[in-house]
Amino acid sequence: MKFSYTALILSVLIFTFISCEKEPEVINEDLYIELVTELSVLNQMNEQLLGEMTKQEKREEIFAHYNVSESEFNEAHEYYQSDIDAQMSRVKIIQDRLRTERDSVQAAERRHRDENRIDPDSIRKQIRNRNNNPEN
């Protein structure tokens, strides 16, 4: 009987120890969201916009900027993906950020086009000036 109580207590202690296992230390959620957002933009970038850099070099630059290694990011990615509902909320946040960024870029492009648009009177003046001044 004494052996059964000892075994039972020992089993409970072992079970408690195993179930209270500490969660892994991963990068915080805000930083994770920021990294996923930047990496998503990078994945969609045209290679020509990177200039001399490759996507992998730019990826390493992003990790260095945030002082996070790729393995730390991958570990956090696995951890955060393990809770599907919470990950879907994070994905929604990331999509909203990407949408906002896209809208901002599109607005800047429209402003640039509008500012550099030549009105018809200016075009006529340029033509007249060329016709009146054949040296140009």
**Structure-derived torsion over alpha carbons of residues 121, 125, 128, 132, reported in degrees to the nearest 10:** 160
In 3D space, the residue among 60, 10, 15, 23 whose CA is nearest the CA of residue 38 turns out to be 60
pLDDT at 77 over 70: yes
* DSSP H or E run through 99: helix 84-116
- Cβ proximity of 26 and 69 under 8 Å: no
Express each pLDDT in 5-52 by its tens digit: 555 455 555 655 554 555 668 999 999 999 999 999 998 888 887 788
Number of C-alpha atoms within 13 angstroms, CB side, residue 18? 6
